[in-house]
Amino acid sequence: MTQLTELDYKTRLPDTPVKLCLSLFTGALTPHSLWQSAPFRRKFLLRALIMPVSTFKVLNMITQHPAYPELLQAQPRLPCRLHRPYLSNQLTRRECTDAIIFHYKKITALLDETAFIKHLSGEGIRLCSFSGKDGGDYYINFISTRKLDREGEASLILKRADGQMLAEITFTLCEKEQQAVIITGGLQGPNNPDSQQIVQAATKNLYGIFPKKLVFEALLVIARLFNVSRILAVSNKAHVYSSLRYKNRQKHMHADYDSFWEMVGGVPTDRAMFSLPLATTRKGFEEIASKKRAEYRRRYELLDKLTAQIETGFRLKVAMSF
């Protein structure tokens, strides 16, 4: 078996969808330890034969991508992404296929090669960093990670300086009616035994902003930079882990999606989705009790800093055509 990192993709990686399919099935190419399992590879081939058109389209996108080896290594389940529920249990296979292809086409056009590969790395792109009330540092990274690949292709992850994850929101860029749309398939907080205490401490240090609210605010900035016309989000009912296939994984859903989307101004739509606002409304200081104005001022300053850093960071990293 040949490990992907040992390959010169220009001469040795399979250059067609059929060749890639066969290389993965035979074990000649193992971008991750998952592909070292013969049962996994047999299931892949069987499902590829059952759904050949969608599988071919995704494999073709992979083999034609300028960052083919990095993409396959960062997202080793991408060749079989459509063989399982993905993004929302309300979407058709064709919609999921189109979403994956559009996402990578759009992201590749927006980011230069270095930035695209960076967002595939274990660290991702550092979008912003800031200090909380107690002086502790926080940061938000833009990353494509396989551990969240059922819920989307890219994530915004808020962490403390010590690496403790506080919130992550996962999405895929799609196209609807010739307009770019974000579909948010995942929203999670920490999964620690003391997660409630961790979130409460972070909220206090972030001047009363919930960690999930902060990554949502970051998503709104990304949506503006990517010229997104609409943001959709899965409800509890539409989440992939609500699929019959993942019944035993529903314990991994620690978030009440419906309540959060309603809190940020989301409106229920058809197909068990929410339509989210493209911007949030801030209270005027005259509406805020005098004893709370200082806290709100610092909160707004933090949000303004987050926005400015993300805009500056992506302007430095996006391709010249953006």
Chain segment 33-83, per-residue pLDDT in tens: 999 999 999 999 999 999 999 999 999 999 999 999 999 999 999 999 999
Of 237, 233, 260, 265, the C-alpha closest to 250 is 237
Residue after which a domain boundary falls, among 44, 68, 92: 68
Measured in degrees and rounded to the nearest 5, phi and psi for residue 179 equal: -125, 145
The residue segments making up the domain with residue 247 are: 113-317
* The total number of residues written for the chain in this structure: 322
Residue 242, pLDDT score? 84
Query: CA dist 65 to 72, 180, 222, Å?
Result: 10, 20, 23
Residue 50, pLDDT score? 97
Question: What is residue 139's three-state secondary structure?
Answer: strand
Residue 313, pLDDT score? 79
Do both 117 and 215 map to the same domain? yes
> Do 278 and 231 form a contact (C-beta atoms < 8 A)?
yes
Angle at the Cα of 153 (from 44 to 178), degrees rounded to 5? 105
Q: Can you read off the two tokens belonging to residue 318?
A: 């996006």
> Do 27 and 70 form a contact (C-beta atoms < 8 A)?
no
Tally of domains within the chain: 2
CA distance 81 to 71: 13
Residue 96, pLDDT score? 97
Of 99, 158, 102, the C-alpha closest to 126 is 158
Residue 249, pLDDT score? 59
Specify if 143 maps to a domain: yes
Of 87, 271, 258, the C-alpha closest to 183 is 87
Widest distance between CA atoms in the chain: 69
Specify if 210 maps to a domain: yes
Look at phi and psi of residue 153 and say left if phi exceeds 0, alpha if psi is from -120 to 50, else beta: alpha
CA distance 172 to 219: 12
Q: Can you read off the two tokens belonging to residue 305?
A: 């800093």
Question: What is residue 149's three-state secondary structure?
Answer: coil
pLDDT tens track, the chain, 322 positions: 455 544 444 447 999 999 999 999 999 999 999 999 999 999 999 999 999 999 999 999 999 999 999 999 999 999 999 999 999 999 999 999 999 999 999 999 999 999 999 999 988 999 999 999 999 999 999 999 999 999 999 999 999 999 999 999 999 999 999 999 999 999 999 988 999 999 999 999 999 999 999 999 999 999 999 999 999 999 999 999 887 666 665 555 557 999 999 999 999 998 999 999 999 988 888 788 888 888 889 999 999 999 999 998 777 676 644 3
Residue 23, pLDDT score? 97
Do both 130 and 270 map to the same domain? yes
Residue after which a domain boundary falls, among 31, 51, 68: 68
Specify if 263 maps to a domain: yes
Specify if 264 maps to a domain: yes
CA distance 141 to 154: 10
Specify if 310 maps to a domain: yes
Residue 7, pLDDT score? 42
What's the CA dihedral at 162, 215, 109, 20 to 10 degrees? Answer: 70
Residue 11, pLDDT score? 46
Residue 6, pLDDT score? 44
Do both 145 and 44 map to the same domain? no
CA distance 76 to 218: 27
Specify if 147 maps to a domain: yes
